[in-house]
């Protein structure tokens, strides 16, 4: 049993890459990834992830903009792909689509196109799912949440079903607006993302 434990531990904490094998992760997101409302940007979950992966010679680029939608992320994607040649794109978009009442079908189209363009550039994708407040109505909320699950199944990509799992709706972890996680929540978000990222970082890019 001890031998198996150390084998599994090695798989998760694999040795750093050499300089010539440096990998890049792009986080394409909105205010939740842009550290909105936090005193220091370095307190955000993306910065914590960057520090965590630095020892493995993995660069994390935060391409998140507060207020961005899935359409905005798609519009910004191509220069990021050509400029950074990422191994993984972490997609944290859609929340603002929901808050603005935009159609789930349009959001699905935009997120799917981000994944497919990433794939054409030899990048894996990880989707970070979101939920919207219940006052938008159960039918719309269900349709919105289902979009992430459908895309993940259709495109065969990894999914974190709800990025705010364990923090959303809890005063201890949320800012006064009730929408954005506070400083105390950021390590929890980072851990959720990191667990989903580890298998992708071990995969070889597909041509």
β-sheet bridge partners, residue 61: 26
Say whether 66 is catalytic: no
Rounded to whole angstroms, the Cα distance separating 145 from 119 reads: 23
- What is the tally of helices (H) and strands (E) in the chain? 7, 5
Residue 85 Rama label (left phi>0; alpha psi -120 to 50; beta): left
Lookup: tokens for 51: 């520090």
Residue from 18, 82, 177, 207 carrying the catalytic annotation: 177
Asked if 64 and 28 count as a contact pair (C-beta separation under 8 A), the reply is yes
Q: Are strands 23-29 and 124-128 parallel, antiparallel or unpaired?
A: unpaired
Say whether 142 is catalytic: no
How far is the first Cα of the chain from the last one, in angstroms, to the nearest whole number?
Answer: 38
Residue from 30, 31, 64, 68 carrying the catalytic annotation: 31
Asked if 129 and 164 count as a contact pair (C-beta separation under 8 A), the reply is no
CA 195 to mean position of chain CA atoms: 11
Say whether 177 is catalytic: yes
Rounded to whole angstroms, the Cα distance separating 65 from 193 reads: 18
Catalytic residue ranges: 31, 177, 180
């Amino acid at each position: 049993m001890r031998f198996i434990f150390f084998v599994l531990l090695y798989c998760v904490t694999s040795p750093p890459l050499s300089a010539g094998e440096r990998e890049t992760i792009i986080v394409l997101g909105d205010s939740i990834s842009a550290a909105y409302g936090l005193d220091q940007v370095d307190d955000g979950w993306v910065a914590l992830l960057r520090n965590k992966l630095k020892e493995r010679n993995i660069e994390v680029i935060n391409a998140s903009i507060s207020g961005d939608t899935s359409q905005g992320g798609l519009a910004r994607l191509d220069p990021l792909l050509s400029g950074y040649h990422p191994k993984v794109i972490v997609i944290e978009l859609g929340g603002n689509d929901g808050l603005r009442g935009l159609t789930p079908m349009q959001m699905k189209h935009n997120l799917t196109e981000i994944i497919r363009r990433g794939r054409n550039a030899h990048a894996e994708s990880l989707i970070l799912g979101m939920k919207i407040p219940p006052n938008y109505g159960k039918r719309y909320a269900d349709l919105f949440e289902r979009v992430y699950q459908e895309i993940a199944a259709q495109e065969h990509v990894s999914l974190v079903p709800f990025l705010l799992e364990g923090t959303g709706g809890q005063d201890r972890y949320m800012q006064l607006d009730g929408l954005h996680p506070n400083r105390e929540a950021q390590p929890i978000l980072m851990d959720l993302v990191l667990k989903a990222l580890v298998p992708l970082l071990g995969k070889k890019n597909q041509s």
